[in-house]
Amino acid sequence: MTTRKVTIKQSDVIESIYSALQYISYYHSPDFIKAMKSAYEKETNNAAKNAIAQILINSKMCAFGKRPLCQDTGIVNVFMEVGMDVHWDASISLEDMINEGVSKAYTHPDNPLRASVVSDPLFSRKNTKDNTPAVIHTKLVPGNKLDIIVAAKGCGSENKAKFTVLNPGDDIIEWILKTIPSMGAGWCPPGILGIGVGGTPEKAMQMAKYSLMEPIDIDNLREKDCLSNIESLRLDLYNKINALGIGAQGLGGLTTVLDVKIQDYPTHAASQPVAMIPNCAATRHVHITLDGSGVGILPEVDFDLYPNIEMDYSRYKRVDLNSITKDQMSSWNIGDTLLLSGTIITGRDAAHKRLKQMIDGGEGLPDGVDFNNKFIYYVGPVDAVGDEVIGPAGPTTATRMDKFSEMMFENTGILGMIGKAERGDSTSQTIRKYKATYLIAVGGAAYLISKSIKKAKKIAFKDMGMEAIYEFEVEDMPVTVAVDTEGKNIHSIFKNIPVIN
Ligand code: SF4
């Protein structure tokens, strides 16, 4: 069958990618909002329910405020199906068009997105400043359209990607249930689990990622009379993973995954590659089609879908960080919810590395940086716009900073840390040794959290973009005690989860 030849303009591709990335930076898809709302309604664990509430409130604030759902605005993933009858009115390659759209989206003056991509990953790790290049997958198909799925994947979830090659007779369920707890909470559950089975190693990884682009529809499977083998496996995994009790942000609870997606492909008789990639509280993707008539049309947003949930601060304890003492901190127990007010200092991966180099080299701390008796907040915020003090500023995964904990306590006088996800055993012991505390904020509630930051000043490493050190004045910033001064760890669930077959 032949189809009408159409011509797609370079400017339409660029504009479509730009608009799609701006759109997904602040709109969750309807299926995601519905699934998260249903998880909220059925949750019985207070800490997990509170975390889901923050994610939903944040989602609504971002939709109305047109500001990013998370401070990690992701690395751009693009899946394209290019019709073989498409003609081009273009002077650059299709990949260059995509990257122009990415650059335009991430440097938008009214809603700048965080530039997180670095080139030369093994050595200088230099920020490319506009989040280019995207990771692009292209398939040629019959027809005269250009189908594009645009996704922005945060690295808390990307970093938890898993891969194995099982023997053909091995039990995939056993491997998945054993592996999920090892992913910890850094992927900001609840989210969606994408699984790719078969093909070759790289094909399995690509399928796992691509499966995450499908809408959440696990509830439909329950209503079907006859399920395919893959559908039965999805439902089985969904039930068994949620029965592990990891819950929102790893705080325990009923919902760890909102859906499980599986794609498969023929494979070698001697092999069974299996890849698994989660999508997080900031699940962001949209599908657009270009048919030569102009830019791709984005879905209309139904603002009535957003639930009316308000934060219940009645169980929170107010804490003045400017006068807090270790004695007072020793009365906090894991699970206690606090509203922090006062001064905190920020710092994340590259800042810790540079601080260590300066301390090891005898230079001491940078001028103007005083951590003494302060909490350090692991965050790389989005730049402010308009009258904002700071853009979305949620926590990054604290586990990556574990290796710096002893160095920070010994040399800087910090009282504790604020981040997201679990700490390792040795860091919990270090926290105990220094009678310190580790507090968690909700990953995926970045815009909500940013509203509790009343003043923000870059005080060091200004050349390092999102890795710069800030001084924040916060008021009523909501956090939960995750490691107390005795080294007790709220995330110890990750050590005790039984393998269910
Ligand atoms: S929700 Fe969590 S994993 Fe997702 S982008 Fe934000 S910080 Fe990263």
* Ligand 1 pocket residues where CB is under 6 Å: 70, 72, 154, 156-157, 187-188, 280-282, 394, 443-444
What is the 3-state composition of the chain as percent helix, strand, coil, each rounded to the nearest 5?
A: 35, 25, 40
Rounded-to-integer distance, Cα 81 and Cα 474, Å: 47
Torsion of CA 176, 194, 210, 136, to 10 degrees: -80
Rounded-to-integer distance, Cα 250 and Cα 246, Å: 5
What burial class does residue 380 get, using C-beta atoms within 10 Å of its C-beta: 0-12 exposed, 13-18 middle, 19+ buried? buried
Please provide residue 498's backbone torsions phi and psi, each rounded to the nearest 5 degrees.
-75, 155
Rounded-to-integer distance, Cα 234 and Cα 192, Å: 11
pLDDT tens-digit readout, 267-276:
999 999 999 9
pLDDT at 499: 38
Name the residue with the closest Cα to ligand 1, atom 5. Answer: 154
What burial class does residue 386 get, using C-beta atoms within 10 Å of its C-beta: 0-12 exposed, 13-18 middle, 19+ buried? exposed
Name the residue with the closest Cα to ligand 1, atom 3. Answer: 156
Rounded-to-integer distance, Cα 462 and Cα 481, Å: 30
pLDDT at 4: 77
pLDDT tens-digit readout, 245-258:
999 999 999 999 99
Counting Cα atoms < 13 Å in the Cβ hemisphere of 463 gives 2
Q: Where are the beta strands (DSSP E) in 125-234?
A: 126-127, 135-141, 146-153, 162-166, 191-198
pLDDT at 495: 66
Q: Which residues contact 481 (CB under 8 A, 6 or more apart)?
A: 332, 333, 334, 335, 336, 337, 338, 437, 438, 439, 490
Pick the atom of ligand 1 nearest to 69's CA: 6
pLDDT tens-digit readout, 290-343:
999 999 999 999 999 999 999 888 889 999 999 999 999 999 999 999 999 999
CA-wise closest residue to 419 among 186, 216, 263: 186
pLDDT at 324: 96
Q: What amino acid is encoded at 106 in this protein?
A: Y
Q: What amino acid is encoded at 217 in this protein?
A: D
Q: What does the block give as tokens for 27? A: 């709109």
From ligand 1's centre to the CA of 490, what distance in Å?
Answer: 20
pLDDT at 1: 58
Rounded-to-integer distance, Cα 165 and Cα 275, Å: 9
To test the pocket of ligand 1, the residue of 58, 72, 153 to mutate (highest count of ligand atoms within 8 Å of its CB) is 72
* CA atoms 451, 456, 460, 464: torsion sign: positive
Mean pLDDT score across all residues of the chain: 95
Pick the atom of ligand 1 nearest to 397's CA: 7
pLDDT at 500: 37
* CA atoms 468, 472, 477, 482: torsion sign: positive
Order of strands, sheet of 75-83, starting from the edge strand that comes earlier in the sequence: 135-141, 75-83, 146-153, 285-290
Pick the atom of ligand 1 nearest to 394's CA: 7
* CA atoms 343, 336, 35, 495: torsion sign: positive
110 secondary structure, DSSP code: S
Q: Give kind and range of the element (H or E) at residue 410.
A: helix 405-412
From ligand 1's centre to the CA of 445, what distance in Å?
Answer: 9
Q: Which residues pair with 453 in a beta bridge?
A: 474
pLDDT tens-digit readout, 230-243:
999 999 999 999 99
For the entire predicted model, the pTM comes to: 0.95
Is the pLDDT assigned to residue 121 strictly greater than 70?
yes
Residues in the chain: 501
To test the pocket of ligand 1, the residue of 187, 188, 279, 397 to mutate (highest count of ligand atoms within 8 Å of its CB) is 188
pLDDT at 496: 57
pLDDT tens-digit readout, 140-162:
999 999 999 999 999 999 999 99
Instruction: Grade residue 3 by pLDDT with cuts at 50, 70 and 90.
Output: low
Q: Residue 362: which region, alpha, beta or left (left: phi > 0; alpha: psi -120 to 50)?
A: left
CA-wise closest residue to 242 among 35, 63, 425, 447: 35
CA-wise closest residue to 116 among 350, 346, 285: 350
CA-wise closest residue to 189 among 255, 234, 284, 239: 255
55 secondary structure, DSSP code: H
Rounded-to-integer distance, Cα 58 and Cα 68, Å: 9
Is the pLDDT assigned to residue 498 strictly greater than 60?
no
Percent of the chain with pLDDT over 90: 95
Mean pLDDT to the nearest integer, 185-193: 97
pLDDT at 494: 74
Pick the atom of ligand 1 nearest to 74's CA: 5
Pick the atom of ligand 1 nearest to 70's CA: 6
Cα distance from N-terminal residue to C-terminal residue, the chain: 49
Tokens 């979830």, residue? 157
